[in-house]
Structure formats: structure tokens, C-alpha cells
Structure 1
């Protein structure tokens, strides 16, 4: 399914009082306002794409705070009479831009019925200010040591703070308030939220803080607010790899063609750690192989080929791993990522459990799927969020939860977890899919149908017809 985003504009600098920061004597408080402005990214000139800037307080919890500016993009519907409730897309991360690369609305199925709105998150690439940490990003891409990454985080923090940035203002709670401020200044009574990965956590925070403005929510690849991600990151990858191995063993064609794949995978990881596997002028260790398979598991079209790739690598022909190792690293905004994570996740996590996620006992060669470490967060040094940032959301807002069976990042059980506290939520498991269960024909159909009537029964016929795991032909 294509990418998503869109709705209405209002005139210049419309102030709203509910989110105003308390005034100090002799000072004027920063209030949220909106103005039309040129698009922050290049867009197709012939399309109905309207842009602006939302100005908000940097830290609503402080009386003395400065204003920050967040770009807005509104993709207008092609319908003659668009639905009054637009769609707002919340990307993953944290630290992925909402608007980068969003140059056109062509192929966006939401525009057939309603507008699509994008708000660049505070601190992100096109926001003013941005919390970008280019050195840390480069070190992550180079798989540098955690010691080096931690030192880079400390240096980036020093630069940002010296420029006047209040890092305590960059949280999911503040971002949720930004979204609700935007809804109000645009004159929208209610809208629909679509969150992907970290965006599901932000969507839950909006529902927690501003339920009156939310008509419905679609959560794809759920990160529950009350799940301690770093305590389970390695185990989540292990679950997905085990499902792949079990799926091959249970399908006759795969089991005959690639016998004993579980034992061969374990032996491959062990051999890589013991003596290394040379490939394209580099020496692979167990963590590299596990990381390559993790990358493959995030691409549903590649999942059927993974048994062959593992089998060939175990036979001494590892070239199939090369495309998985050469994928472009995700361009996270690491300053924003750390501000959110070190405030809302790390204070509630157990350091011993975090460390256990890279132990050899998981059989992944120490592959590190954690977002951050206690040391990195100590270097970043932001204030801990209150307990509400780690409590499940109680809500009767209609919710559609989508999960991919092979998701190595946010297991399907995390989506099911929300059913305990969201009585109007429905969970759909999509066979053969991974992280990003919405981005296929069936996921798109379910999402569009849900948006038309969030309380109507879902037609699961397309789910029943999905093939699930089928080994790829040689």
C-alpha cells in the first residue's frame, strides 16, 4: 500500500488559549498558532497540497519557554464532497520525519474520500529547531562501539543545549498536544489517526490526552505504552526467526529442500562467532548474520527466500546475505529519538533485562535490536516522564489493530495486549506480513473500510485468502 498523509487551513496566526503556557510577571506567554507558509519540501505544483507552520511552546510545563515551528502539509481530497474527518499519519521511529519525501498525493488511497494531514514532529528534520545528531547517525550506520556512540550522544547534547534547546520539551506528550493544537486551529471537530510502529505509541498518547478529538485510530505494528521495549528487543527478533524456521519445517516443500534448518542456523551463528565468515572483503560474525535475517524479515516479499539464503550460507555460499547487509540505514533523528526514549522508556526499564537481550544465550550472536542503552541515556540526561508515560491507555475509541505474523520488531502479541483496555478495538493478524502490516492490498482494504465506518463489522475475506508462508521457488 502506498504511503499516507492530510485536511483544512485557517487564516494567519490563530491563537488558541487552552494550551497557553502560564505567564511569568512581565512576560508574554507562547501560544499555539498557525500560518500559511511555503512547503518545507518540494511538492508537485499541479496538485492540491497546502502547507503551513504550527508555532507551539517548546515546553508547556514551564512558564518561560520559547516558541518552536513545525511544518504542516495538507493533501486535499479528490472527492467532490470529502468526509469531514481527515486522516493524520504518524510515522515510526521515534525520529522519522513525517514529511520527508512527501512530494505528491498520487497513489494515496485516502484522498479518494478525505483529506490527509502531516505534522512534522517537534525536533524532527524539518522542524525549527531540529535535534539532528549527524555524528551519532554516522556511527550507528558504521556499527561503531557503544562506547563511541555514547560519547557522540554526549557531544551532540552539549551542542544542542548550548544553542538554547530545552531537551525536556521533546516528548510524546508534547507531540500529542501539538497534534491537538493543530486540530483546533484548523477547525476540525474530530479526525482519524493512523500510527505505524512508534507512531502507534504517539497515537495512544493522543487518545490518552485528547480523546474528544479522535474519531478512530488505526494502529499498525503496535508498540504499547506499557511495554518495556529494550527488555524484549532481542527476544522479539528471536521469536520471528523461530517462526521462520518452524514455518519451513512444517511446509513439506521447504523441509525437504532445506532440511534441519534450525540446527544449520545455530551452527552458522556459532561458526561465524568462532572463526568468521568472509564475504565481500568483510568478516561476518553471528550478529551480522542475525541482523541480515532481521532485515529480510521486515520485507514480506523476501521472507520466502530466507530459508534458501540461510541454507546456502550454511553450505559455505553466503552471497545471498549480501543484499540484506547492504541496505541503507534508516535516517533517524537521533536527538529526538533519545529525548523521547530516555524520558519515556528507559526510566521504567530494568538494566539487567536490557543487557540480557544481547547475550549469546539467545543464539543471535549478540545482535543488538535495542533502541538505546542506559549509558546512552545517562549521557543524554533528560528528565524522566511521569508514571502515566508507562501506563496502558484506557479508551473506548474505535481502534483497528494490524499485525504482521513475521514482525521482528513489534510482535503480534503486543497488538493483542491493547484489547485488554480498549473495548472497541479489533485485532487482525496478517499472514506472511511483517513490520508494516498495512502496506499491502489486504491491509489497505481493511484500513479504508474501517475509516468509512469504524464500528461496522470487518470483512476478513482478504485475510483468509492471504497465502502466509510459502517457500520461494529456486
Structure 2
């Protein structure tokens, strides 16, 4: 356990405890610089379900260190809001969700928790405290999704302790995510529609796929699409496509699923409609987001992300709403918390071609302020471009020598997606 102050800005702040896991490399002497994995979210655990290093490619050459983020599932205290998880899974009204946020906050505050202490800056300081406590001169950060934002914060606050950084599916610090939350999904859907239209076999099998989808969505609005046990509306169909776009193995089948649903057979979409509550730790998620993102976002632009004109059925990809943050009531971060991070540390940026959450352009954006960064788009992949053979090879090679030229043969040999024509 790592013991740190709950709020470093307050002299009388109490101590909190964060679990640490260290996976050791085998018998051979490991490299002196371990890797630290920073998960997505915010609000996903670093250590949940981790009981073995078996199959972990990083352990071939170096140790891996995991620090449970402050406020997360296994930290003491945890900022869990299980009622909110359940309500969001049930697609409860915004008012009901906001009321649950207020109840969760009241319970946590009554327990003596200082919600202003749960920030990316504090988490970055936790990581550097751990590095120094373990006597590590420098280590390598591997961030995924929100973890890339945390890695950028570490670079801004503690660059001396970082040898290299891998950023997979980048969330730039200076992007106001909730103002453009719908655009990445719209872009990814268009890539599928255009990809089928330009692939002869797919276009012959499913001609005018865009028109088919438009007709399907219009019918869902008008009459609903009958499915076993339910009636699908536009929002359901778009949610199913969004889930399919998170799974690279399923993306080639999306033209077929769209066409079948248009012919009255939507069963293929049903497994993509998840109803189980997410594993996000919502208290931590809200403390970070409501302090570091919401103060810099325009409510009108945020509201436009669920407007009918977008054609997405009101699918809400925003991380939080102004109402939720109004109920959570945490202090706003300083303005520089929304500035692009400048760094000379070697950085490998990986992006998935079809990412419906953090599009490749956001990864390229970091090249403006990180002169030693390199960007690689992985064909056919989605959110999580590292989790395939080529992405893994590039990551391991980069860790061996972050300043060496990258061998991109595996990228050049990837055929990308071949859309199913059967």
C-alpha cells in the first residue's frame, strides 16, 4: 500500500492508502526501467482481476508496476457510486441520475472524504511518490484512453522521472471532449459505410449501405424494429453499432448486420446492446471530470451532442452532464489544466483506424507540442490500438530503444478490414 495525503494542498489532510502491484520479470535480470500501466476511464481500476503475470508481454524484458488510482475500487477510501452505475445501465432519466449523484456525494462527504483531492494532478503526484519510494530513476508510462491524459499530466508535473511514454487512443488534455463527444462515433460509422461502398464485394452484396441504414433508422423512429422481447428504436441501433465498433473482429460484419436488420432480422444486433452496469468508479470519475473538464466546456456545445439533428438517436457519449457536475460540487482546476502538454520525452502514439471514442486526429494533435513523439495508425483497429500483434510489437520495440527508428513493416503488411460479403 502507498500512503499519500488525500489533498496535498491542505496542511491537515488525512492519509489515504493506494494498493500497489509489482509483477517481476523471470529469472534474468530485468531492465532498470519498469513499465507502469495507466488504465482508461476515468474510474477504471488498475489492479482489479490481476492475479498473475502469465502471458504479460512486458514481463519478457522488464518489471511492471500497477498503482490503484486514488478513489478507485480497491483504494481506501473508494468513491464508488453503485446506484448511479445501475441507473445508467437502465438508461434512467438525467434527473434521476443527477439525484443519485447528489445522494452519493452526500454519503461520501458524511464519511469525511474530501472530494476535491481526487484529481489527475494528485494522481500524477501519487505516481511520482511511488517511483521515488521504490528508488527508480526513471520508468516508462503506458496510458490507455483516459490513462493517456493522466500520462500527459505526469509529463507536465514530473518529466524527470519518465524515460518514455506509450499513448494508446489519446485523449488530449486540451480537447473539450463533451463538446464533441458525438463526432468520433459519427466518423467511425461513416468509415464503415464508405468502406463497404468502396469494396466491390461488399458493395455488390449490400448496395447503398448508407441508404439502407438511413431507412432502418427512419423506420425505427416511426414504427420501431420488432426484436425478441423488445422493440428497437434509433438509439438502440446506434448503440449497437457503437458497441460493434469497439470490437475490431466484429467491424467487418457490421454491413451484414445493418442489412439483416433492415430486412426485419435484427437479432445480430441484440448481443451488442449491453445492459449490465459499467465498472466505472463514478465518484472518482465525477471528481476528475467535473473539476478538470466541465469548467472549460460550453453548455450549448455539450447539449448539441445529443441533438436529433445528429441522427444518432440521442446517444449520449458525454462523460458527464452539467447537472451531474452541479450536484457533485468540486473545485475547478486552474486554467492551465486545460493547456496542451509540452514535452521532449520520447512518445509513441498509437491510434485505431475505426476508433469511435478518441479518433486518430486527436493522437496526431500531440505532435504539435511533443517534438520527440511519433504517431502510428493501426489499420482495422478501434479503441485500444495496442491490443493486437502489430501494436504489441511496436510497443515492445519502442520500450527497448525509445529513440531508435520504428520498424513499421507489420503496419504495412496489415490488410486492414475486409468487409464481410457473405
Give the TM-score, by structure 1 length. Answer: 0.88
User: Which whole-Å CA distance do the structure 1 matches of 2:271 and 2:154 have between them?
Assistant: 38
Q: CA deviation at 1:252?
A: 0.5
Q: CA deviation at 1:327?
A: 6.4
Deviations 1:278-328 (A, max 9, x none): 222122111111111000000000000011001111111111101111464
Q: CA deviation at 1:417?
A: 0.2
Contact 1:57–1:66 (CA under 8 A) maintained in structure 2:
yes
Q: CA deviation at 1:79?
A: 4.9
Please point out which of 247, 258, 274 is paired with 2:222.
274
Contact 1:75–1:115 (CA under 8 A) maintained in structure 2:
yes
Structure 2 gaps, min length 5: none
Deviations 1:192-228 (A, max 9, x none): 0000000000000000000000000000000000000
User: Which whole-Å CA distance do the structure 1 matches of 2:366 and 2:407 have between them?
Assistant: 21
2:151 is equivalent to residue 203 of structure 1: yes
2:281 is equivalent to residue 341 of structure 1: no
Deviations 1:129-162 (A, max 9, x none): 0000010000011111111111100100000001
User: RMSD between aligned alpha carbons?
Assistant: 0.9
User: Which whole-Å CA distance do the structure 2 matches of 1:58 and 1:365 have between them?
Assistant: 41
Deviations 1:254-284 (A, max 9, x none): 1111111111112212221222222221221
User: Which whole-Å CA distance do the structure 1 matches of 2:275 and 2:420 have between them?
Assistant: 21
2:46 is equivalent to residue 98 of structure 1: yes
User: Which whole-Å CA distance do the structure 1 matches of 2:420 and 2:90 have between them?
Assistant: 32
Please point out which of 112, 122, 128 is paired with 1:164.
112
2:365 is equivalent to residue 420 of structure 1: no
User: Which whole-Å CA distance do the structure 1 matches of 2:146 and 2:103 have between them?
Assistant: 26
5 Å matches for 1:430-449? 430-449=378-397
User: Which whole-Å CA distance do the structure 2 matches of 1:327 and 1:198 have between them?
Assistant: 23
Q: CA deviation at 1:329?
A: 4.4
Contact 1:270–1:365 (CA under 8 A) maintained in structure 2:
no
Contact 1:79–1:113 (CA under 8 A) maintained in structure 2:
no
SS in 2 for 1:419: helix
5 Å matches for 1:106-145? 106-145=54-93
5 Å matches for 1:398-409? 398-409=346-357
Contact 1:358–1:368 (CA under 8 A) maintained in structure 2:
yes
SS in 2 for 1:82: coil
2:26 is equivalent to residue 78 of structure 1: yes
Deviations 1:365-393 (A, max 9, x none): 11111111101100111000001210000
User: Which whole-Å CA distance do the structure 1 matches of 2:411 and 2:275 have between them?
Assistant: 30
What is the aligned partner in structure 2 of residue 38 from structure 1?
A: none
What is the aligned partner in structure 2 of residue 311 from structure 1?
A: 259
Give the TM-score, by structure 2 length. Answer: 0.99
SS in 2 for 1:155: helix
Structure 1 gaps, min length 5: 1-52
Please point out which of 383, 387, 407 is paired with 2:335.
387
The 1:227–1:340 alpha-carbon spacing in structure 2 relative to 1, beyond 3 Å, is same
Please point out which of 178, 190, 199 is paired with 1:242.
190
Contact 2:168–2:349 (CA under 8 A) maintained in structure 1:
yes
Q: CA deviation at 1:353?
A: 0.5
SS in 1 for 2:53: coil
User: Which whole-Å CA distance do the structure 2 matches of 1:328 and 1:299 have between them?
Assistant: 17
5 Å matches for 1:223-234? 223-234=171-182
5 Å matches for 1:154-193? 154-193=102-141
SS in 2 for 1:357: helix
Contact 2:167–2:350 (CA under 8 A) maintained in structure 1:
yes
2:9 is equivalent to residue 61 of structure 1: yes
User: Which whole-Å CA distance do the structure 1 matches of 2:185 and 2:243 have between them?
Assistant: 10
SS in 1 for 2:65: strand
User: Which whole-Å CA distance do the structure 1 matches of 2:110 and 2:216 have between them?
Assistant: 48
Contact 2:286–2:328 (CA under 8 A) maintained in structure 1:
yes
Q: CA deviation at 1:472?
A: 2.3
SS in 2 for 1:289: helix
User: Which whole-Å CA distance do the structure 1 matches of 2:277 and 2:215 have between them?
Assistant: 28
User: Which whole-Å CA distance do the structure 2 matches of 1:364 and 1:262 have between them?
Assistant: 14
User: Which whole-Å CA distance do the structure 1 matches of 2:277 and 2:416 have between them?
Assistant: 28
SS in 1 for 2:182: helix
